[in-house]
Structure 1
Amino acid sequence: MLDIQEQQILSAWHQNAQPWIDAIANNEIESRIAVTNQAIIDAVLAEPTQTAVDIGCGEGWLVRALTSHGLDMLGADGVPKLIEQAQLSGDGQFRQVTYEEIANGQLNDSFDTAVCNFSLLGHNSALGLFTAFPNLLNSNGRLIVQTLHPLIACGTEAYKDGWRPGSWAGFKGDFVTVPWYFRTLETWVALFTQHGFRLIHLYEPIDPSTGHPVSVILVGQLTQ
């Protein structure tokens, strides 16, 4: 059962689907174009991978990008409009499935790599996915998560886990605000190690215009 914040996230994304599709199509998110898109592609391609799943794939840009590199990709998202757009936009396979459904075993494929690119916004939903990841991955499979860098995203608030109000400042579309669950870097690392993953890489993509990290990418390898 989803708590109120998780329900708000999913509800908001049903409303934000079209503004998000427009923002991606119009290249409105500067950090993605300058830094984070290529960073996640590089992280996935850093080790041999044949099959991968993009969980929270949105309109499917990463699936299409990695398919062009020869990977057999599946994109999964719980928002129907995003999946519809993904299916219309080109290569790759896509499936409408919520995080709760994945946690309950309804995505019964297996992959070399699972990717969550800025898509782990909640608390219990993320915990459910981490519990499911070992069953989604082949032996020695990788889990790759890109998220906002905790030290930068923390802002002036206390550096501790907890729910934070969202913001779409700088975006042109009519977005509904999405709450999100802040985790310290220590907590992110613990999520990997507590669920059977050995952290093998930690990348901090840097914004060349500021010299500050835009995001953090954690790469874990399944040890169970």
Structure 2
Amino acid sequence: MTESWDTIADWYAELVRSGSALHDFSRDSLLGYLPELLRGQRVLDLGCGEGIIARAVAARGATVWGIDPSPRMIEHARSAEKSQPTGAVFSVDDGCTLATVATASVEWVTAGLSLNNVPDLDAALAAVHRVLNPRGALIFTVPHPCFEAPHATWAQAGDGTMRRVVGDYLTEGFWRSSNPNGARRAGNQHRKLSTYITTLMRNGFKIAAVDEPTPDPRVVAAQPQRSGLPPFMLFDVRRA
């Protein structure tokens, strides 16, 4: 069976809620670029999945809408919200159009490990630009384009340490991981770092910050081989 985000949604929700070091690290890295207090602010969480980021942002006082193209993911997000209400609202929508979101209606857009799943980055960023108010900001993480390129693997070096083996960085487009325990078995869009930067600029964004967060102790404890490499890239961009 060819996997999709709907078919892996139950597994993914359980993975995140049982304590995934990488997902917690990605969430906390992104939250570090948002104000501690967001009361009165409106936030759209694009590609919200089961709601890990949307709930955390709502806890800071923001009005939060989470959207995801996977109906099953939205079911999980709504279920979590029902059991522990934060005020976040979740709905099915396409990140390339944001058809359910009004123009200039939010101050912030967050996208945690989701823009690497949209098939048309230009369309998604144009949609984000539309829904942000004139002073709005987009904060997002993606798997590091260099170290998480298609089919990257780990190999043991002569000194016994584990090293990342990377190939196909220049080959952009859709690919599917063969790892039965990885989210990217549902598919992923690989893009070069330069593609992210030029597409942001082309769609009316200016870059405020770029970060390559150092793996925290949770990540290192779970996957010691990652201690020397950033698993994600983070972008803080503003509407130009």
Say whether the fold is shared (TM-score over 0.5): yes
> In structure 1, which of residues 84, 102, 107 is the aligned counterpart of residue 101 of structure 2?
107
Flag the structure with more relative contact order, 1 or 2, with Cα contacts below 8 A and sequence separation at least 6.
1
Instruction: Compute the displacement of 1:216 (Å).
Output: 0.6
Q: Equivalents in 1 of 2:96, 2:128: separation in Å?
A: 13
Partner in structure 1 of residue 172 of structure 2:
162
Percent identity of paired positions between Structure 1 and Structure 2: 20
Partner in structure 1 of residue 130 of structure 2:
135
Partner in structure 2 of residue 42 of structure 1:
32
Partner in structure 2 of residue 121 of structure 1:
116
Give the structure-2-normalised TM-score: 0.78
Residues 202 and 48 (structure 1), Cα distance of their counterparts in 2 relative to 1, 3 Å cut: farther
Give the structure-1-normalised TM-score: 0.83
Partner in structure 1 of residue 50 of structure 2:
59
Q: Equivalents in 1 of 2:27, 2:90: separation in Å?
A: 19
Q: Equivalents in 2 of 1:88, 1:123: separation in Å?
A: 25
Partner in structure 2 of residue 187 of structure 1:
195
**Letter of the structure 2 residue corresponding to residue 63 of structure 1:** A
Q: Equivalents in 2 of 1:85, 1:143: separation in Å?
A: 24
- Cα deviation 1:84-135 (Å, max 9, x = unaligned): 2211212211111123442xx4422510011111012346432211111221
Aligned length: 208
Partner in structure 2 of residue 95 of structure 1:
91
Residues 87 and 185 (structure 1), Cα distance of their counterparts in 2 relative to 1, 3 Å cut: same
Q: Equivalents in 2 of 1:47, 1:149: separation in Å?
A: 29
Residues 84 and 177 (structure 1), Cα distance of their counterparts in 2 relative to 1, 3 Å cut: same
Map 1:213-224 → 2, pairs under 5 A: 213-223=230-240
RMSD: 2.4
Are the equivalent residues in 1 in contact too, given 2:204–2:239 (CA < 8 A)?
yes
- Cα deviation 1:186-206 (Å, max 9, x = unaligned): 111111111000000111111
Partner in structure 1 of residue 158 of structure 2:
none
**Letter of the structure 2 residue corresponding to residue 94 of structure 1:** F
Instruction: Compute the displacement of 1:168 (Å).
Output: 6.7
Residues 47 and 190 (structure 1), Cα distance of their counterparts in 2 relative to 1, 3 Å cut: farther
In terms of Rg, which structure is larger?
A: 2
Residues 68 and 138 (structure 1), Cα distance of their counterparts in 2 relative to 1, 3 Å cut: same
Q: Equivalents in 2 of 1:163, 1:61: separation in Å?
A: 27
Are the equivalent residues in 2 in contact too, given 1:16–1:176 (CA < 8 A)?
no
Q: Equivalents in 2 of 1:178, 1:116: separation in Å?
A: 18
- Cα deviation 1:113-167 (Å, max 9, x = unaligned): 1111101234643221111122100112101120011121123213324125333
> In structure 2, which of residues 209, 212, 223 is the aligned counterpart of residue 201 of structure 1?
209
Gaps of 5+ in 2: 153-165, 221-226
Partner in structure 2 of residue 5 of structure 1:
none
